[in-house]
Every structure is written in structure tokens, then in C-alpha cells.
Amino acid sequence: MDRFRPSAAASATTGGDDIVLPENFLFGTSTAAYQIEGAAAEDGKGPSIWDTFTAEPGRIVDGASGAVACDHYHRWAEDIELMRRLGADGYRFSIAWPRIQPTGGGAANPAGLGFYDRLVDALLDAGIRPMVTLYHWDLPQALEDGGGWLDRETALRFGEYAAIMGDLLGDRVTHWCPVNEPNVVTLYGYGEGVFAPGKALLLDALPAAHHLLLAHGTAVQALRASGAGDVGTATSHYPAWPRTGSDADRAAAGCFDTLWNRLFADPILLGRYPGGLGEAMPGPVGEDLALIAQPLDFYGLNYYHPMGVRAASEGSRLPFERADVPGYPTTDFGWPIVPEAFTDLLVEMAERYPGLPPIIVTENGCSYATGPDESGVVDDRPRIDYLDAHLRAVAAAIGRGADVRGYYCWSLLDNFEWAHGFTQRFGLVHVDYDTLVRTPKRSFDWYADLIRAHHGTTD
């Protein structure tokens, strides 16, 4: 495939019943605490950086916040019943750190512990394997006030928090992802300032990358000490596609690949920073890398689309600029739909990282705004096409030798989509944000049928 002049992607086949995946392949869904829980100040929960960020005028497209979101904190039993109906093997969700430690340190909040304790037990009762993400971007505001991820102390506090959760849930949670998408936190939150905490530091944000990686390492160590189950990652990967075949665009794409993909995967999987970036990191980098690069049970990978990249224009403060990827259909978010890039990424990961642990796709999904019709049916055929094509892409990668063990669809519910508020809908289940009524979409039924067919079940 010519990545410099991509051709339009073919329309996906949408039957689903002929997608061939390994017998023990896991099918699941994913969510994040701030995006669905609500109950922002209930039962002793402290404020997070997203509570602060959403309160600042102009930060969120529609002025919304996660104060109520999907009200999952009160409706979790209903949502687990939806997952049971779906037939999901697993459910990936995140713990709200400020619900456990309101200021990011000290004694744990009993109400917060109780909520997640009940949630995990109910998932297991429903036959669903819990996958816990310890950090999905909602840092306690008190820690940000002390420097946030630019401060080494935050990584150490994270290890203490991981130990609390490991002691509570380590005997029941089957998979752990310490930090979700540290590249997003670093570049969007601290580099460009479009996500919380809104710091526009550009390349001066690199210390945050190191401390997020160190937090991963301290959490892995703490979870292992608690006897926790499989420990992995949940790292975003964007294949970097030069906008043209020019040397300048190729170099810019290589730079983006280093800063987005390799800056976070290399330390974890190879024990070193790429391109001399270790020299820009604070602290005893060599000692930290030994902690960061502990063996993992799986590598959690989030994929949505390739990133078009071109050379930076004069006066740019970054060494690259994002560009479109022409010739492909797009989602309602404007993201190009390129399932073949997903296949290539999964195959190339093993080539780039010898000894790569088994991969679990911890996020993949698409935004379409389809709502209920006059009969109450949400006929989101484009989402079905997308999921079909990307599960076929996973199957193709396995056929080419990639060791992929599971696929977690983003997302179970329509939810608060960060800086885009409630304007983007990724869910298998439609949520009416006024009434909070849940309506499974046609894609929900399609995914449920696929899971049943794969497992040879009828219910």
C-alpha cells in the first residue's frame, strides 16, 4: 500500500459471522471513570483536574462536564446487566483516584473503596472479567497543585495508590492497566494544553512523560507485591503517515512517531528512550528505566486511526504538524477509517519489539451521532461497518503472526468525550443525557451476535 497517496478504503463486509479469531479470544468493552460515573463530589470524592478544567470557560466545546455524565455511579447495576446481555467476556473500567484518595495521598476513602469492591463482585457474578485501569486522566487536583506529572512525587504517590487498589481487588481483577495513554496526558494535557490540566509547555512537557512512565513502573511493582493478576498497559498508537513522500514530511513523521509512539513504548518494552530523549529526562534515568521496564503479562494497545504528518511551517514551535489523511471515509469525529493500518500496526509491533508480550486491544471504536428513530431504534450501521472491518483487521494480523488475545470496544456507553463534551458518541448503547435512559444500538446487537457465534452460545 502506498502510504503517501492512499486510495479510498473499500466498504466493509458486515456479516460478522465469518470473522475467524482464536478460540479463547476475549471480547469486551471499555469505559473511563470521569466519562461515565458522575457523582463528582459525592461520598467524599475529591476534585480532579478535569473538574477544574471543565469549569474554565471555553475549555469544552459544548460547555459540558462530567459532573453527572452517565450517572454510572448510581446506575452501575443497570450497566452490568447491559454487559451481561451483550455477552461480554471482559469489561475495562477505570478507578477515579480522587474517589479513593481525595487529595492523592493518605488514608483511603471507605466509600470509594466500597463502590469499586461492589462493582467488581457484581461483574464476576455476571461472568465478566474485570480489567482495571488505575489512571485514566483524572488526577487529584491537590497533586496538580503541587506540580502534577511534572513532579516526581506524583509518580511515587501513584505507587501508594496502586498498592491500596491491589490489596483491595488483587484477588479478583484479572487484568490491570496502570496508566491509560500517557502520550495523550503528556502531549495534550501538558504539551498543547487542550486537555486537563491545560499546560501549553510544548517540548518542555517531556518530564511529565518520564514521571508517567515511572508511575507505570511503581504501579507494576506494587500490584505484583499484592499478588495481582495479569499486568499490562493501555497505550495509544497512531501510525505516522507522511502527508507526501518528501524528505521533509518523512522526517516530520519520524519525529511524530518517536514522540507519540516510541517515547512511551520503548522504555516499557526495551528499557531505553529513543533518539537520545533520555538526556532530556529528570532524575536517575537509568535506575528509573529498570523499574519502568519490568516484564508485562500483556501489552494493551489503543488504536483509532493513522496520523497524517507534514513538515512544520515557519514559526512552528513543534517539529511537525498534523495533516489530513485523504482518500478514506471518516467518522463523525473526522477521523479517517483505515483498518488495514490497524493490521500493519499489530504486525509491526512484534517486529519492532522482540519478545513483545501478547497484545490485547484495550480500545478501538468510532463516533457516530445516530440517535433513536421514531420507533426508538438506533440504527447505527456505520458503526457496525467500522467494528466489522477492524475485527477483520485483527484477524488478518493474527494470520500474519501477531499474538492478539482480545478486543475491547470503545465504548460501552455514549459518554463525556473530554474536550468535545457530549458532542461525540462512541457507545454501543445510546444515552439520553437529559433522562439518562440507555438504549442499546443496532451495533450492540451485532456485537452480541458476534460474541455468541464465536463462543457457540445462544443466550
- Point out the residues that are catalytic: 181, 363
137 is in an annotated binding site: no
What is the spatial distance between Cα 168 and Cα 248, in angstroms, rounded to a whole number?
A: 52
* Cβ atoms < 10 Å from Cβ of 351: 10
- Give one DSSP letter per residue of 388-455, joined into a string: HHHHHHHHHHHHTT--EEEEEEE-SB----GGGTTS----SEEE-TTT--EEE-HHHHHHHHHHHHHH
Q: Is 304 annotated as a binding residue?
A: yes
Task: Kindly write down the DSSP assignment for every residue of 46-96, as one continuous string.
Answer: PPBHHHHHHTSTTSSTTS--TTTTT-HHHHHHHHHHHHHHHT-SEEEEE--
Known binding residue 415? Answer is: no
Q: Which residue has the cell 513538515?
A: 311
Mind giving me the DSSP string for 172-210? T--EEEEEB-HHHIIIIIIIS-SSTT----GGGGHHHHH
Q: Is residue 351 marked as binding?
A: no
> How far is CA 261 from each of CA 230, 289, 432, 434, rounded to the nearest angstrom?
23, 17, 36, 38
From CA 176, how far away is CA 232, in angstroms rounded? 6
Q: CA 390 to CA 17: how far, in whole Å?
A: 14
Is 180 a known ligand-binding residue? yes
Q: Are 211 and 146 spatial neighbours (Cβ–Cβ below 8 Å)?
A: no
Residue 136 in marked binding region:
yes
Asked if residue 348 belongs to a known ligand binding site, the reply is no
- Do 99 and 51 form a contact (C-beta atoms < 8 A)? no
Rg (CA), the chain: 21
For the CA atoms of 379, 432, 337, 452, the dihedral, rounded to the nearest 10 degrees, stands at -60
Q: Assign 12 to helix, strand or coil.
A: coil
Annotated binding site: 35, 136, 180, 304, 410, 417-418
Annotated binding residues for substrate: 35, 136, 180, 304, 410, 417-418
